[in-house]
Chains A and B, each alone.
Chain A
Amino acid sequence: MDLFEKLQNVIASTLKVTPDKITRETLDKDLVAWDSLAHVNLMMGLEQTFDLFLEVEDFTQLTSVPAILEYLREQGKA
């Protein structure tokens, strides 16, 4: 499973949407389910899945698939 697919699964299970709703370009505002509360769950899901520790400041940056993918690559998770 490549990085995007792994991320797609985390987003799908924490936001309770089907994976096909999530593309490499998806932004939070594209999905009704990606609201501020679901975002908190997504952040926790990312931490657990990719073994990360996110700062509150990261929460506010990681609001789109491209931003998260870039962050994961920076963290050497690719």
Chain B
Amino acid sequence: MSKRKLELDALLELGTRDALRQAMRQAAPPMLTQIEQITERAAEMSPTMVELRLGVVHSYTSELLDPWLVLAGALEGLDVRIYHAPYGLNLEEADTRSDLVAHAPDITLMLLRREDLHPDLARPVAALSPEEQSVLSSQALERLFAVIGAFRANKVGNLVVTILPGLNGPALGVYDPQAERSEAAWWSALKADIGRRLRVGVEASLFLDLDEVLAQIGREAFFDPRLWYSAQFPFAAPAAHEFSRRVVALGAAMKFPKAKVIALDADNTLWGGIIGEDGFDGIALGHEYPGNAYMAFQRRLLDFQQRGFILALCSKNNPADVEQVLNDHPHQILKPGHFAAIRVNWEAKTDNLVALAEELNLGLDSFIFVDDSDYECALVRRQLPEVEVIQISARPVEVPSCLDRVSRLELLSLTAEDLKKTEMYAQERTRQQLRQSAERNGGLEGYLASLEMVMTVGIDDPAPLKRLSQLTQKTNQFNLTTRRYDELHMRRLIDASNWMVGYFSLKDVFGESGIVGLALFDHSAPTVAELDTFLMSCRVIGRKAESAFFNVLLKRLAAAGVREVLADYLPTPKNGLVTNFLPDHGFAVDANGRFFRDLIATPPLPDEAYPMAIEVAGEAAGSELGQLA
């Protein structure tokens, strides 16, 4: 996309990091001499920067990326501290006593060249027969995963693997895509294998595809052959800029509250023009410019829904006008069912955002607010600083890509639950309606029974590892201790014989919740268990699921000989919801100020005490508690 020249003075005038980031996204990369000024300006803005520790393992020059990485970090509010391992793919760094491990990186970035995967990759892949190519793939994978495994075995944070694209196109030139020995096809298949193996076999790992950076900025803008041949540094400024942005985006996704909701304005955002003034037939939405840009943006929003973000509508309009477009406009792509919640009225947008957060049971810091108006954007930035604001460009051509470089919309993992999220929120809306009518005729108990709930509890089951770790990262409200666990750590707890890791999912007449609750018990002591973590997604609140789940786990502990359970409530600004959870579940405060429950005096209840069927599944062999209970 054609970029505008960077206006340094105007840039330095901007007041917030999100405004600065957005201006940078739309401009050409800064000059090296400008980087420092922009970095300093971004660094001094509030909130105070959070440290992001980066380790770099590299088989080509990486140090020249530093100013770009530090700039990208400052724009996100991340103070990037970089350690470069000695040059070369050095397995000595994959050691508990290495300088890399001592740096305690949040992310270890592996910068590999193609030939690091296999010496034969320095020669044309097209020279090999299909059989030889397939042998080469398996050997290259084996070699790569031996290196990855060696690093993964150490505390090096999230592993981000990259492979530098070729400086030149494929050996067979323009004919390559048609050739049986196509190099591009061979690389695509290899990348898919790498992605698959990282997904299933290597925790906390990610393949950052540099071919995507190459596709975005073009081969000629990506490589500077002068720097490559004279200093083994491949990246020209646009590549260094974009690559660093992507690396830091992963850091932002790790370090900051998870984004969950994209709250969208309607006029000049989902369509061009103002429905209240231009009318149903006057708004720009269709196959001609500028309506096609808004259609493209709506289509792009469906992509973000696939990443697990939910959409909400927040518009100042007459509700009937907006409803008419959503339901009847022939080119409107997003229908009412695509939105998890809708606020169309004349109230202040800030009030509507707060109301949306309440309705969805999510914190405001999980909101990304998208609006074209200077006034609304400034108001939200000032009144609700925890909301990230994306101001839609007044140039329609820039609208479809306006969310493409928002770091918190990048994923570190994707679970089955993410894909169904909007559907689940829509089901929740229906449930609420049923609940209100049931409460009018016969009360909560009747309503809960009418849901025909089935709870499935899993114990020490590593299969949903990603989701379990994600729950500790994302759950802020219904969470007793707010302890965060990455996948590696979670895996260790699941495997440990002295820990019990329990989770549950809930099914009812409307659908499946996916995994929504997690509890971690440390039962190292013979008769005492400690509750380390108890959390639940707010999606299933108000259905007695938390009590039923807790009871099932306490029953298993009691059956295994545990007589007393210790627990803590660690208050945060967000978890006031669970202040009374422990007292409500038979816990008293002991002499040390900790909560305890005597399982002999206050034994767990039979399953029938709860308004749902309860099944226990997914027990891993080797879990002593699983076998005993």
Contacts and interface: CB of A to CB of B under 8 A. Distances in A.
Interface in B42-62: 61
B32 A40 contact: no
A44 B227 CA distance: 10
B233 A40 contact: yes
Interface in B217-270: 226-227, 229-231, 233, 237
A74 interface: no
Contacts of A44: 32, 227, 237
Contacts of A59: 226, 230
A37 B226 contact: no
B33 A13 contact: yes
Nearest to B31: A48
Given A44-B237, A56-B230, A37 B64 contact: yes
Contact of A45 (B33, B61, B231, B233): B33
B67 interface: yes
Contact of A37 (B31, B32, B231, B237): B231
Contacts of B237: 44
A41 B31 contact: no
Contacts of B229: 56
Given A56-B229, A59-B226, A59-B230, A37 B33 contact: no
Interface residues of A, number: 17
Interface in B40-87: 61, 63-64, 67
A14 B32 contact: yes
A64 interface: no
Interface string A1-36: 000000001100110100000000000000000001
Interface string B269-290: 0000000000000000000000
Nearest to B237: A44
Contacts of A36: 231
A37 B63 contact: yes
A66 B230 CA distance: 23
B522 to A, nearest CB: 48
A55 B233 CA distance: 15
A11 B231 CA distance: 19
Secondary structure call for the A interface:
helix
Nearest to A42: B32
B36 interface: yes
In this complex, which of A9, A44, A49 has the most chain B Cβ atoms within 10 angstroms of its Cβ? A44
B230 A49 contact: no
A61 B321 CA distance: 69
A14 B233 CA distance: 16
B226 A49 contact: no
A37 B67 contact: no
A48 B236 CA distance: 12
B33 A40 contact: no
A9 B32 CA distance: 12
B32 A45 contact: yes
Contacts of A56: 226, 229-230
A44 B49 CA distance: 29
Contacts of A10: 33
Nearest to B36: A13
A4 B233 CA distance: 29
Given A13-B36, A55-B226, A56-B226, A40 B231 contact: yes
B33 A48 contact: yes
Contacts of A55: 226
A16 B70 CA distance: 13
Given A37-B63, A40-B64, A41-B64, A49 B31 contact: yes
Contact of A14 (B33, B61, B230, B231): B33
Contacts of B63: 37
28 contacts: A9-B33, A13-B33, A13-B36, A14-B32, A14-B33, A36-B231, A37-B61, A37-B63, A40-B64, A40-B227, A40-B231, A40-B233, A41-B64, A41-B67, A44-B32, A44-B227, A45-B31, A45-B32, A45-B33, A49-B31, A49-B33, A54-B226, A55-B226, A56-B226, A56-B229, A56-B230, A59-B226, A59-B230
Given A49-B31, A56-B229, A56-B230, 15 more contacts: A13-B36, A14-B32, A36-B231, A37-B61, A37-B64, A37-B231, A40-B227, A44-B32, A44-B227, A45-B31, A48-B31, A48-B32, A49-B33, A59-B226, A59-B230
Closest 8 CB pairs of A and B: A48-B31, A45-B32, A13-B33, A56-B230, A40-B231, A56-B226, A37-B63, A45-B33
